[in-house]
Amino acid sequence: MILSLGMQGKKDYQEKLFTDFRLSDRVREDNFYRRLKGGADMDFLYRLTKGFYGSSGQKSIDPVVFFKLCLVGYLENIASDRKLVGHCGMRLDILYFLGYGIQP
């Protein structure tokens, strides 16, 4: 018995070496995290937290990013750090809010 597929198409995924992708183009203007990013200047955290950082060793996570991660965890009701990082990595709007891109 021979099955005919007719005009059925099949999409084959193929990695691209170069891509033209802008994260800001993929997050809608009315998105909550986009609006929060535009309306909440958190640079004051650098001044407030400066005294808690040493002058030697490895660089720490950016205090603004850390605060934003905590805020996302609260807003999304995620208590686990691992789940929070995994969740943020899958959401383009949250990556945009944190100031990260899609490239590692």
Q: Between residues 17 and 68, which one has the greater pLDDT?
A: 68
List pLDDT tens digits, range 52-61.
888 888 888 8
Hey, how many other C-beta atoms are within 10 angstroms of the C-beta on 64?
A: 17
Residue showing tokens 């943020």: 88
List pLDDT tens digits, range 76-88.
999 999 999 999 9
∠28-29-33 over CA atoms, to 5°? 80
What pTM, to 2 d.p., does this model score? 0.78
Mean of all residue pLDDT scores within the chain = 87
What distance in Å separates the CA atoms of residue 15 and residue 4, rounded to the nearest whole number?
A: 29
What distance in Å separates the CA atoms of residue 83 and residue 103, rounded to the nearest whole number?
A: 20
